[in-house]
Amino acid sequence: MLQLTQKLKNGAMDVLDVAVPHVARGFILVRNHCSLISAGTEASTVTAARKGLVGKAMERPQQVKQVIDTFIQQGPVQTYRAVMKKLDAYSPLGYSAAGEVIDVAPDVSGFAVGDRVACAGAGYASHAEVIAVPANLCVKLPAHADLGRASYNTLGAIALQGIRQADLKLGESCVVVGLGLLGQLTCLMLRASGVRVVGMDIDAAMVELARKHSADLALVSGAPGSGEAIMEFSGGLGADAVIITAATSSLEPINFAGRVLRKRGTVVIVGSVPTGFDRDPYFYRKELQLKMSCSYGPGRYDLNYEEKGHDYPAAYVRWTENRNMSAFQDLVHSGRINLDYLTTHRFKLENAPNAYDLITQRSQPFLGILIEYDTSKPVRRESLEINVGSAANGKANIAFVGAGSYAMSNLLPNIPKGSDVRLTGVLTSSGTSARTVAEKFGFEFCAGSADDIFNSPRVDTVFVATRHNSHAKYVQHALAARKNVFVEKPLCLNEDELEEISALYRTLSDQQSAPLLMVGFNRRFSPLVAEIKKQLGTGSMAMLYRVNAGAIPADSWIQDAEIGGGRIIGEVCHFVDLLICLNGSLPTRVSATALESADALMDTVNIALQFANGSTGTIAYYANGAKSLPKEHLEVYRAGAVAVLRDFKELEIHGARKPYKTRLMNQNKGQAEMVNAFITAITGGNGNPIPFSEIHAATLTTFRILQAIRSRASVELAP
């Protein structure tokens, strides 16, 4: 299928052939008929991409800070990889579309193949022939619906949420500042609801459009007498509300709002404007309210709502983002508002880059710009061949399921090159990201579904680097297909999944040519850890591991019990594995206490482990520390010697035969050595680099840590 993309590195736009997205749980697959270019938001994205590196840095100061932090913590190599991954990627554009349903996930109800739908969401409702969209970001349309009008879906819902924040009543008055698409839609819906509307903009052409179609009074911003005209329009009272849909760095819109509002009136911010208003004389003396409007409405940025499909009860949350979209579509298709005058241009998908040239160069007046799609072509859902004619089969024919930031920075660059290794297929959450990875690293094809990977005779080894809740499923698929599998940590999210994997693996391990199973416990492969083991040996020891983990918001997928499993399962497994590796035996007992907090995340925790050989280990995993402190500090005490490892950069060993001290230029957590060990095990016919008993023990221990926290008692681990 074709999709419009842009590279952040140079702003180059292409209409690329990419794999059709797969239908994940909670999603529907939609064939686009029309999508809307949001000239304000998307023009800003395109303009920033076309700037040089200095210009990009000035546009994104927060991201520059992240780059600096990464450089300090991980060194220049990892920083360079992370930056180039962003710059080289094909980025999708668009977030408002309408089309026809062509597939529905089994757990989704209310939609069927053939339904007409309007869709929303950045990264979902893109400018592409086929899109995969969560069910709660789609609304079903009448069979006769005009899909060009319906494609205004996202902007209509954003405008409607701003109106709801203003809480206006029939006969009241509202000033809309900014008469682009959002402002025009806001005026149309206000007027349809019986509110008297004043529209304002710095562009006289937009003011004239509003005067003809959407506003009772239309004024040029900053024109003499505009404030007085609004006071006269409101009968001397002042406007009941001002909705600001403009985008500017000036304080003029919000201060002007204070001037023309009645006492105890309301300002609603929908557009991108600063809020540092002058307190006196207007905001203070009139007791004005300032409200922010959050995108499409309640549910936005909520993982449970948008991705899992959990709706809010209408009796308690009357207007969610989905219900706002539905209400907007009802206004459109009932004829109560007419959008036809808003559409000034239409482009075929193949010519879509020309639309962005029009926007950025302002070569002619524009407002609503639609992209139209050729729906006569058949939808081809098979794999997309990228590098045809690759080398013959190697000893390791590798495919990736998932290839996000970690995989592109730490796994793929470290796969050894040579005739024994061949990169075959890649499957990611979007066609654009799969195409980026395939081109950058030389994969042969982009898969359209997991079956394209697991059923392919071209693949004998699978790397799984997806979200945590899919790890167990993909590991079992790979093992059942008798393919070697490397899975990023954690192996799975619960004990049932662990035992299913264990039973399958043990059955296969008794057979000839059994596949390898490896979990991404990279720290044990670090050269500095190897030095500790060399000088201290294994055996009874005391270990202290302090991790300044840093905070992750409660609404992140990592913290979600169903998707990420939480940080103990998702990350503490790393540290448990390293202690197992260092002392050479498995945990037998665990106790743990967590810092009580309002969000109950259990991510600031003290863990005490006892091991079969008498060793003890303490993991102090803290999410409430300062970022300026290095993340990891490990001390190992054994037989009069002490090893001190600081953030995988510095190692000191005291009390050994001779003092040892080293400092690396770059942090080395063992990712390259880990990947090399796995590939070498395949090509050389060696056994698993990590014994399965240790993988099982590290995973099970994380479940027991949670049990110990909840029960406030130590917990034994069976042999």
Question: Tens digit of pLDDT for each residue in 565-591?
Answer: 999 999 999 999 999 999 999 999 999
Q: Are strands 27-37 and 96-104 parallel, antiparallel or unpaired?
A: antiparallel
Per-residue model confidence (pLDDT) at position 266: 97
506 plus 400 within the same structural domain:
yes
Measured between alpha carbons, how far is 594 from 585 in angstroms, rounded to an integer? 26
Mean pLDDT, residues 386-410: 84
Instruction: Please name the residues in contact with 120: beta carbons below 8 A apart, sequence gap of 6 or more.
Output: 95, 96, 133, 137, 138, 153, 154, 157, 296, 321, 325
Measured between alpha carbons, how far is 616 from 424 in angstroms, rounded to an integer? 44
CATH number at residue 274: 3.40.50.720
204 plus 185 within the same structural domain:
yes
Residue 405 domain-assigned? Answer: yes
Mean pLDDT, residues 301-317: 94
Residue 335 domain-assigned? Answer: yes
147 plus 72 within the same structural domain:
yes
Dump the DSSP string for 667-687.
---SHHHHHHHHHHHHHTT--
Measured between alpha carbons, how far is 232 from 227 in angstroms, rounded to an integer? 9
| Average pLDDT over all residues of the chain | 92
Residue 377 domain-assigned? Answer: no
Q: Return the closest-CA partner of residue 543 out of 627, 628, 608, 469.
A: 608
For the chain, the distance separating the N- and C-terminal CA atoms, rounded to the nearest angstrom, is: 52
Per-residue model confidence (pLDDT) at position 64: 57
217 plus 133 within the same structural domain:
no
- CB crowding 241-251: b at 16 or more within 10 Å, else e: bbbbbbbbeee
Residue 707 domain-assigned? Answer: yes
Assess whether pLDDT exceeds 60 at residue 53: no
The mean-pLDDT minimum among 262-271, 409-418, 526-535 falls in 409-418
16 plus 122 within the same structural domain:
yes
Reported confidence tier of residue 510, pLDDT bands at 50, 70, 90: confident
Helix (H) or strand (E) run with residue 217 in it: strand 217-220
Assess whether pLDDT exceeds 90 at residue 712: yes
Assess whether pLDDT exceeds 80 at residue 482: yes
Look up residue 496 and give its amino acid: D
Please write the tens of the pLDDT for every residue from 258-295.
999 999 999 999 999 998 899 999 999 999 999 999 99
503 plus 564 within the same structural domain:
no
Residue 379 domain-assigned? Answer: no
Q: Which of 488, 518, 548 is the last residue of a domain?
A: 518
321-333 vs 153-166: helix crossing angle, rounded to 10? 110
33 plus 103 within the same structural domain:
yes
Per-residue model confidence (pLDDT) at position 160: 98
Assess whether pLDDT exceeds 70 at residue 62: no
Measured between alpha carbons, how far is 579 from 34 in angstroms, rounded to an integer? 56
Residue 365 domain-assigned? Answer: yes
**CA-CA distances (angstroms) from residue 480 to 26, 460, 503, 615, 648?**
26, 12, 12, 37, 37
186 plus 288 within the same structural domain:
yes
Residue 385 domain-assigned? Answer: no
Q: Which of 483, 502, 518 is the last residue of a domain?
A: 518
- The CB density around residue 76, as the number of other CB atoms within 10 Å, is 11
Cα–Cα–Cα angle for 183, 188, 189, nearest 5°?
Answer: 100
Measured between alpha carbons, how far is 305 from 321 in angstroms, rounded to an integer? 10
Q: Are 149 and 33 in contact (CB under 8 A)?
A: no
Using DSSP, state whether 9 is helix, strand or coil: coil
The DSSP secondary-structure symbol of 279 reads: I
Please write the tens of the pLDDT for every residue from 72-129.
666 666 666 666 556 677 889 999 999 999 999 999 999 999 999 999 999 999 999 9
Residue 384 domain-assigned? Answer: no
* Structural domain total, the chain: 4
73 plus 180 within the same structural domain:
no
Please write the tens of the pLDDT for every residue from 207-238.
999 999 999 999 999 999 999 999 999 999 99
140 plus 9 within the same structural domain:
yes
538 plus 504 within the same structural domain:
no
Measured between alpha carbons, how far is 187 from 203 in angstroms, rounded to an integer? 16
The mean-pLDDT minimum among 136-150, 171-185, 262-276, 405-419 falls in 405-419
Q: Return the closest-CA partner of residue 295 out of 177, 155, 93.
A: 155
Is the entire prediction scored with pTM above 0.85? yes
Domain of residue 268 covers 157-292
10 Å CB burial of residue 628 (0-12, 13-18, 19+) is: exposed
104 plus 119 within the same structural domain:
yes
Q: Which of 372, 406, 427 is the last residue of a domain?
A: 372
Stronger pLDDT, 676 or 89, i.e. the higher one:
676
10 Å CB burial of residue 90 (0-12, 13-18, 19+) is: buried
Cα–Cα–Cα angle for 78, 81, 87, nearest 5°?
Answer: 145
The mean-pLDDT minimum among 58-67, 241-250, 265-274 falls in 58-67
